[in-house]
Structures are given as C-alpha cells and as structure tokens.
Amino acid sequence: MIFLRNESFRTYLRLYPLTSFFIGVNTVAMLFTTVLGWQNNPYMLYAYTSFAADFPLQDRWWTILTFSFVHNGWMHFLFNMFMMYLIAPPLEQRLGRSRYLLLWLWLIFTTALGLYALRAGAAVGASGVDYGFLGLYLYYMWRGPRWLDRQSESVILAFIVLGAISTLIIPGVSIAGHLGGFVGGLLFGFLFARKRWERSAWERRFY
C-alpha cells in the first residue's frame, strides 16, 4: 500500500518537497483569506481569486493561478489538503520534480479549461488538481507501467467512485473543474508518462 503516510513531518518535507510547498501555499492562502475576512464574505473571495468563464481574463489575469490555491471554507480546504497529503507523494517520487511541477501547472490549466469550456460559474479550490492525480493514477492502471499494488489500485478506484458521486450530489461542487482536472490527469499520462522509466529509489523501498 503506497498511500500509508507514516513519515515524520521532517521526513515528509525532505522526501516530498514540492507537495509540501504546494500544501504550504494553500495553507498560507487559507490563513490570509481568513484574516482578511473573505471567508465570511464570499463576494470578496470570488471577486479577487476565483476563475470564471464569464469574467474577462485580461482584467483578472492572476486568477488563472490563484483559484487553485484558495478555498471557500475550512472543510473545503482540509478535505483537499488531506487528499493531496495522501495521494500526491507517490507521483512526486515517480515523476521527479521537474515533471511533477509540470503536472501541477498542467492540471491547473486543464481545470481552468474545463471551467471555461463548459461555461461554469466562478470556482476556487485545489480539487481539480486532486482529481487530476486520480486521473493519472487511472492511466497507470490502464495503460502505463504497472507499479501500483492491488490494494493501492483499489483505493484509487474507491476515490474515483466516491469523488464522482460527491461531485454529482453535493450542491455547489464544480463539476466542470473536477472533470477538467481528471481528464487532464489522463491526458498527462498519454503525453508524458509513456516512457519506460527506471525504478525509482522510492519504488525500491517498497518492492
């Protein structure tokens, strides 16, 4: 099982520096918007940080990035960060830092593209990235190098099913954003994960 996070805080930071950095950025953004009072004033939160197909991007160019690091409420934030904490580290180790950074930027882009293509309303949150991770895992299970054990594959499938159900039944959830991220993860697999890589140091720890 590759999703058991039993590392110490210091070890986690050392092994997964980019994941730690992105969780840190999300945390700082959450604290910042809380101190500003934007968590109690959604109009300000969405006006300055969200991405929306109907808002002119030239007037709010920064939102192409900020929307993915800002959350509407602590439950929204904690759930997304917990998912990231669990499922992102194996991808960082597998891809290497440069490709993992590319994955992040790609998933932010495809999430925004999903919002734009489906003319969705204003959205914030890192869930598009989390769904992109699930999409990439699904690619590995389907077409890519089979490096996931059966327990880990079952966890991914469970996350995908539960994620799809929650996306459809929970009010206010961005279907377009989740779909854009998930499809982006699959596409990343086809575009960048088809080479036969040598077994990483992370893999040698578990196999």
The residues annotated with a catalytic role in the active site are: 127, 178
87, 136 in Cβ contact below 8 A? Answer: no
Query: Which of 130, 124, 43, 149 lies closest to 79, judged by CA?
Result: 130
Residue with tokens 């969200």: 50
50, 123 in Cβ contact below 8 A? Answer: yes
Residue with tokens 């960060």: 81
Answer positive or negative: Cα dihedral of 92, 130, 142, 112: negative
Helix (H, G, I), strand (E, B), or coil: what is residue 121? coil
How many CB atoms within 10 Å of residue 88? 22
Give the C-alpha separation, 205 to 20, whole Å: 20
> Token digits for 107?
């998933």
For the packed helices 97-117 and 127-142, what is the interaxial angle rounded to 10 degrees? 110
